[in-house]
Amino acid sequence: MQNITAEELKTRLDSGETLHLLDVREPHENAEFNIGGILLPLGQIRSAQIDKIESLKAEEVICYCRSGNRSGQACVLLDSLGFSNTRNLTGGMLEWQRKF
């Protein structure tokens, strides 16, 4: 797992780069505000229900949550399941909304 800042992510999104974003928050949090990631709450990763992202094992996957804690856990879990390039959005959506 590596970290990515809100500024780095925004720059990459604004440049039109195709990114694999994974929102590990709960559905109600995603409905309030999101940046377009695949919704897969942390509890579903823990229970190994990752079929919809299995094809991304060799790709960069950027995880985000509210503050960066759950997404950090998600990166560690994904790494243990064979994902080779996970990144955690430091500060999560709180930092994103504060800056943008």
pLDDT tens by residue, 29-79: 999 999 999 999 999 997 777 888 999 999 999 999 999 999 999 999 999
How is the chain split into domains, by residue range?
2-99
CA distance 87 to 62: 5
Which pTM value belongs to this model? 0.96
Is the CATH number 3.40.250.10 carried by domain 2-99?
A: yes
Q: What residues act catalytically?
A: 65
